[in-house]
Every structure is written in C-alpha cells, then in structure tokens.
Structure 1
C-alpha cells in the first residue's frame, strides 16, 4: 500500500470518530426535559414548563439576557393552607366549647328558693297571662288625664295668641311704611 491515504483508511477514521462521538454523547447526562421530567408547552411569550415529578408549573421566557423560568403561584396550595388553618381553628373552638359545657354542667344551681315569683310590670321576661291567647292579646293605651288635657289646651291657646299678635305687628309695620 502506498503512504497516501486510501479511501478505506478515511472510512475507518470517520467511523472511529463517529463511534467516539457517540460514546461521548452517551457519557453526558441527558437534560431533564429529555428523560421525561419536564413537559414544555409553547405560549405567546415563551414556554410553560410542568415538572412531572413535583407538579410545579413555571413560565420560561427569553427577555434578551437569556432564558429564565419563574414559578407560577400555586393557588391550590394557598387554598389548601387556608383550609388547614380554618380546620385547626374549628378544632380548637370545639375543644373550648366542650370545656365550657363541662364546666357549666359541673356548676351547682346558684338560685335557691322560688324563682317563678311575680316580675315587675316593666320586665320583658314576664310571662303572658294564660287566660289570653297569643292571637287575642289586647294592648291598653292609657288616655291622658283631664289635667294633661288642660295643660295642652293652655299651651295651644298661648301659641295661637302669640301667632295672631305677630301677624298684627307685621301688618302695622307694613302699613306704616307704605
């Protein structure tokens, strides 16, 4: 064979480089998107990335300085946290209520003697008379006494006289100026 490169030697060299390149590619770890961890979906200004292991969603875009991904706020996680907080509060309230009920049940009656006595007329807790049904209740409106009527009539008479006196003064003032 001659020292010049023969076509078979070139083919062997190319095959060797090809196989060597493949080994180098296989030695590199595959990006996460190639082994199924992330799912990408194109949107108007970039892509939406879903992490299939954690369920986290990110928006990725290239504003000119390089690609950047930002986590999308997870409203479901916030709602779950609020539900958990409220459930804890309800549990505390139930516990406190049970304690109060137990304390109330453990107390003895503090009122001794007859409690069905006559209540004052102004007391709203007074029981209605058993003789009168609910639909037949009658309300009594006290009428004014004669003395009260005399006072009202006296007041109205004085007010009327003052009104007449004012009208007379106004008429005299107007007649005097004309």
Structure 2
C-alpha cells in the first residue's frame, strides 16, 4: 500500500465512529423531515393519502438518496408517491429534489404532453427541482413539487372527463 493510503486508513480509525454518528443523525433527521412534509400537507387534490403509510427507505451509502414515501388512492387504484433528496443522479455535489410514482406508473404515461412549470424538469420518470444551494427550503420546495404533481393529476382528470363526455 502507498504511504498516503496508510495515512488515510490510520486517520480513519480515529474518525470513523464520529463520522458514522454524524451520517446516521443526518440521514435520520432528513428522513424525519421528509416524512413530516408528507404528514402535514393539507391539500392532496384528487389523491387520497394514507398518512399511516408514510415511511422512508435507505439506499445510502451505495446510492446517496434520502426519501419518504406515501401510499395514496387515485381512481380506486393505489399510488405510491416518493419524494427524495437525490445526490446519486445529480450531475454535481449538490442534490436535486425529486418526486416520482413508485406504484401506479400508468398515470405517468401522458406526461410528455403536459405543460410542466418551467422550474421543474421531468427526467427519468420523475419530476425534479434544482434548488438554490444557499437555501434548500425543503418544505416549500417539496410542497411546490407536490402541487405540480397534483396539477398534473387534475389535468389527467380533466382530459379523461373530456374524452368520456365529449364536452369542452
């Protein structure tokens, strides 16, 4: 082994426990915050949330992404909506905020014809928002993402109603 690697490993022996504690606390607190955003949201539009279903899954450190998910019902079908802070797919060291449907993906099929608000990008089957790294404003930005998603669902509903009734 090289001398630099030996120095790095020796330094790691004295810092690993503290670094692990910092990582675990950060992960837990951010997951709690994401879950709270879902739990305290008032307006779910046409989607009916099951608040008791809110949970997070951990992919870190292999896939640096922290999330919260909620099971909902829409048109008598189950949806699982995920919100996440995503370093894994970010092109920089700064994460983006994302929202996607984990279950009920058939509702994303018409997204390419939807007029997304310019601050959001639909990439790889999910909605992304790239916040200012100086101010993440998680509650505000995730509520904006959820608002945009619910606007999309309402648009689906409006188009569906138009197709079934033939009215304008």
> Max radius of gyration: which structure?
1
TM-score using structure 2 length? 0.26
TM-score using structure 1 length? 0.25
Query: Higher strand fraction: Structure 1 or Structure 2?
Result: 2
Query: Higher helix fraction: Structure 1 or Structure 2?
Result: 1
